[in-house]
Amino acid sequence: MDEVKNARQNMTRRQAVLFGRRALAWSMAALCGAPMVAQAAGISSDLTVSDPWIRTVGGPAPAAGYFTLSNASGTPEILAGVSSPDCGKLTMHESRNVNGVESMVMVVQRPVPPHGRIVFAPGSFHLMCMSPSRAVRPGAQIPVVLRFADGRRLQVRFPVRPIGGG
Protein backbone atom coordinates (compact mmCIF):
# COMPACT_ATOMS: atom_id res chain seq x y z
CA MET A 1 0.00 0.00 0.00
CA ASP A 2 2.91 2.36 0.76
CA GLU A 3 4.25 1.79 -2.78
CA VAL A 4 0.96 3.01 -4.27
CA LYS A 5 0.95 6.06 -1.98
CA ASN A 6 4.55 6.92 -2.93
CA ALA A 7 3.82 6.47 -6.63
CA ARG A 8 0.81 8.79 -6.38
CA GLN A 9 2.87 11.46 -4.63
CA ASN A 10 5.46 11.38 -7.42
CA MET A 11 2.91 11.68 -10.27
CA THR A 12 2.09 14.94 -11.96
CA ARG A 13 -1.57 15.96 -12.01
CA ARG A 14 -1.88 15.03 -15.72
CA GLN A 15 -0.29 11.62 -15.15
CA ALA A 16 -2.65 11.01 -12.23
CA VAL A 17 -5.71 11.88 -14.34
CA LEU A 18 -4.57 9.61 -17.19
CA PHE A 19 -3.78 6.81 -14.73
CA GLY A 20 -7.21 7.18 -13.12
CA ARG A 21 -9.02 7.12 -16.45
CA ARG A 22 -7.16 4.01 -17.60
CA ALA A 23 -7.72 2.25 -14.30
CA LEU A 24 -11.44 3.05 -14.43
CA ALA A 25 -11.78 1.80 -18.01
CA TRP A 26 -9.95 -1.47 -17.33
CA SER A 27 -11.88 -2.01 -14.08
CA MET A 28 -15.17 -1.53 -15.89
CA ALA A 29 -14.10 -4.01 -18.56
CA ALA A 30 -13.13 -6.59 -15.95
CA LEU A 31 -16.37 -6.15 -13.99
CA CYS A 32 -18.43 -6.57 -17.16
CA GLY A 33 -16.64 -9.78 -18.01
CA ALA A 34 -15.30 -8.33 -21.26
CA PRO A 35 -11.73 -9.57 -21.60
CA MET A 36 -10.90 -7.57 -24.73
CA VAL A 37 -13.59 -4.91 -25.08
CA ALA A 38 -14.66 -2.11 -22.77
CA GLN A 39 -17.94 -0.56 -23.80
CA ALA A 40 -18.31 3.18 -23.41
CA ALA A 41 -21.58 4.98 -22.79
CA GLY A 42 -23.83 4.92 -25.83
CA ILE A 43 -22.34 1.81 -27.43
CA SER A 44 -24.69 -1.11 -27.74
CA SER A 45 -23.60 -4.73 -27.65
CA ASP A 46 -24.37 -4.80 -31.39
CA LEU A 47 -20.83 -3.55 -32.09
CA THR A 48 -18.10 -6.00 -31.11
CA VAL A 49 -14.39 -6.27 -31.72
CA SER A 50 -12.64 -9.60 -32.08
CA ASP A 51 -8.99 -10.59 -32.52
CA PRO A 52 -7.44 -7.17 -31.82
CA TRP A 53 -3.63 -7.00 -31.86
CA ILE A 54 -0.76 -4.62 -32.58
CA ARG A 55 2.37 -5.72 -34.48
CA THR A 56 5.57 -3.91 -33.52
CA VAL A 57 9.13 -4.02 -34.81
CA GLY A 58 10.24 -2.15 -31.69
CA GLY A 59 11.67 1.24 -30.97
CA PRO A 60 10.32 4.36 -32.66
CA ALA A 61 9.25 2.53 -35.84
CA PRO A 62 5.52 2.65 -36.60
CA ALA A 63 3.40 -0.26 -35.37
CA ALA A 64 0.37 -1.75 -37.17
CA GLY A 65 -2.98 -2.74 -35.67
CA TYR A 66 -5.46 -5.39 -36.76
CA PHE A 67 -8.94 -6.45 -35.66
CA THR A 68 -12.42 -7.41 -36.84
CA LEU A 69 -15.37 -5.11 -36.13
CA SER A 70 -18.80 -6.75 -36.28
CA ASN A 71 -22.18 -5.02 -36.44
CA ALA A 72 -25.06 -7.25 -35.31
CA SER A 73 -27.65 -4.49 -35.77
CA GLY A 74 -29.83 -3.81 -38.79
CA THR A 75 -28.37 -0.30 -39.09
CA PRO A 76 -25.14 0.62 -40.88
CA GLU A 77 -22.40 2.12 -38.71
CA ILE A 78 -19.42 4.27 -39.73
CA LEU A 79 -16.03 3.89 -38.08
CA ALA A 80 -14.84 7.50 -38.27
CA GLY A 81 -11.58 7.48 -36.36
CA VAL A 82 -9.21 5.82 -33.95
CA SER A 83 -6.93 6.99 -31.15
CA SER A 84 -4.62 5.69 -28.45
CA PRO A 85 -2.68 7.45 -25.70
CA ASP A 86 0.21 5.12 -26.57
CA CYS A 87 0.54 6.36 -30.16
CA GLY A 88 1.69 9.84 -31.10
CA LYS A 89 -0.89 9.52 -33.87
CA LEU A 90 -3.14 6.56 -34.73
CA THR A 91 -4.79 6.44 -38.16
CA MET A 92 -6.55 4.00 -40.48
CA HIS A 93 -4.81 2.94 -43.71
CA GLU A 94 -5.30 0.60 -46.63
CA SER A 95 -2.45 -1.25 -48.36
CA ARG A 96 -2.92 -1.39 -52.13
CA ASN A 97 -1.14 -3.01 -55.04
CA VAL A 98 -1.85 -1.20 -58.31
CA ASN A 99 -0.04 -2.57 -61.35
CA GLY A 100 2.61 -4.15 -59.15
CA VAL A 101 3.23 -0.97 -57.17
CA GLU A 102 2.62 -1.21 -53.43
CA SER A 103 1.18 1.84 -51.71
CA MET A 104 -0.54 2.77 -48.48
CA VAL A 105 -3.47 5.18 -48.45
CA MET A 106 -4.91 6.89 -45.39
CA VAL A 107 -8.59 6.09 -44.81
CA VAL A 108 -10.84 8.67 -43.15
CA GLN A 109 -13.75 6.33 -42.38
CA ARG A 110 -14.98 2.79 -42.94
CA PRO A 111 -18.64 1.80 -43.21
CA VAL A 112 -19.72 -1.28 -41.26
CA PRO A 113 -22.71 -2.89 -42.99
CA PRO A 114 -25.81 -4.04 -41.08
CA HIS A 115 -25.34 -7.62 -39.88
CA GLY A 116 -21.82 -7.46 -41.33
CA ARG A 117 -18.22 -6.92 -40.40
CA ILE A 118 -15.06 -5.21 -41.51
CA VAL A 119 -11.61 -6.74 -41.18
CA PHE A 120 -8.34 -4.94 -40.57
CA ALA A 121 -5.62 -7.47 -41.53
CA PRO A 122 -2.02 -7.53 -42.78
CA GLY A 123 -1.85 -6.51 -46.46
CA SER A 124 -5.24 -4.80 -46.33
CA PHE A 125 -6.89 -2.26 -44.05
CA HIS A 126 -4.91 -1.64 -40.85
CA LEU A 127 -4.16 0.88 -38.14
CA MET A 128 -0.88 2.81 -38.14
CA CYS A 129 0.55 3.76 -34.74
CA MET A 130 3.02 6.55 -35.44
CA SER A 131 5.55 7.45 -32.73
CA PRO A 132 4.57 4.56 -30.42
CA SER A 133 5.29 5.05 -26.72
CA ARG A 134 7.46 2.69 -24.70
CA ALA A 135 4.25 0.92 -23.65
CA VAL A 136 3.98 -0.55 -27.18
CA ARG A 137 6.13 -3.61 -26.55
CA PRO A 138 5.54 -7.36 -26.97
CA GLY A 139 3.44 -8.76 -24.16
CA ALA A 140 1.78 -5.46 -23.30
CA GLN A 141 -1.79 -4.40 -24.06
CA ILE A 142 -2.57 -0.87 -25.20
CA PRO A 143 -5.92 0.91 -25.19
CA VAL A 144 -7.40 1.91 -28.54
CA VAL A 145 -10.57 3.97 -28.92
CA LEU A 146 -12.76 3.40 -31.99
CA ARG A 147 -14.85 6.50 -32.75
CA PHE A 148 -18.06 6.31 -34.74
CA ALA A 149 -19.64 9.00 -36.93
CA ASP A 150 -22.54 9.46 -34.48
CA GLY A 151 -20.11 10.31 -31.66
CA ARG A 152 -20.12 6.97 -29.88
CA ARG A 153 -16.82 5.41 -28.79
CA LEU A 154 -15.64 1.89 -28.08
CA GLN A 155 -12.46 1.25 -26.10
CA VAL A 156 -10.57 -1.96 -26.85
CA ARG A 157 -7.37 -3.46 -25.41
CA PHE A 158 -4.94 -4.50 -28.16
CA PRO A 159 -2.28 -7.08 -27.17
CA VAL A 160 1.13 -6.21 -28.63
CA ARG A 161 3.05 -8.88 -30.57
CA PRO A 162 6.49 -8.79 -32.15
CA ILE A 163 6.85 -8.85 -35.93
CA GLY A 164 6.49 -12.48 -37.01
CA GLY A 165 4.49 -13.24 -33.87
CA GLY A 166 1.05 -12.66 -35.36
Residue 83 confidence (pLDDT) above 80: yes
Q: Do residues 122 and 102 lie in contact, with contact meaning Cβ atoms separated by under 8 Å?
A: no
Residue 112 confidence (pLDDT) above 50: yes
Dihedral over alpha carbons 69, 53, 156, 92 (to 10 degrees): -60
- The answer on 108 and 46 residing in a single domain is yes
- The answer on 105 and 69 residing in a single domain is yes
pLDDT for position 4: 36
pLDDT for position 45: 72
Q: Is pTM, for the whole model, over 0.75?
A: no
Residue 40 confidence (pLDDT) above 90: no
Q: Do residues 37 and 68 lie in contact, with contact meaning Cβ atoms separated by under 8 Å?
A: no
What's the number of domains the chain is made of? Answer: 2
Range of the domain at 139: 36-162
The 3-state secondary structure of the chain reads CHHHHHHHHHCCHHHHHHHHHHHHHHHHHHHCCCCCEEECCCCCCCEEEEEEEEEECCCCCCEEEEEEEEECCCCCEEEEEEECCCEEEEEEEEEEEECCEEEEEEECCEEECCCEEEEECCCCEEEEEEEECCCCCCCCEEEEEEEECCCCEEEEEEEEEECCCC
Residue 131 confidence (pLDDT) above 70: yes
Residue 61 confidence (pLDDT) above 80: yes
pLDDT band at 87 (very low <50, low <70, confident <90, very high): very high
Average pLDDT, the chain: 80
Residue 22 confidence (pLDDT) above 90: no
pLDDT for position 165: 67
CATH number of the domain that residue 46 is part of? 2.60.40.1890
- The answer on 74 and 54 residing in a single domain is yes
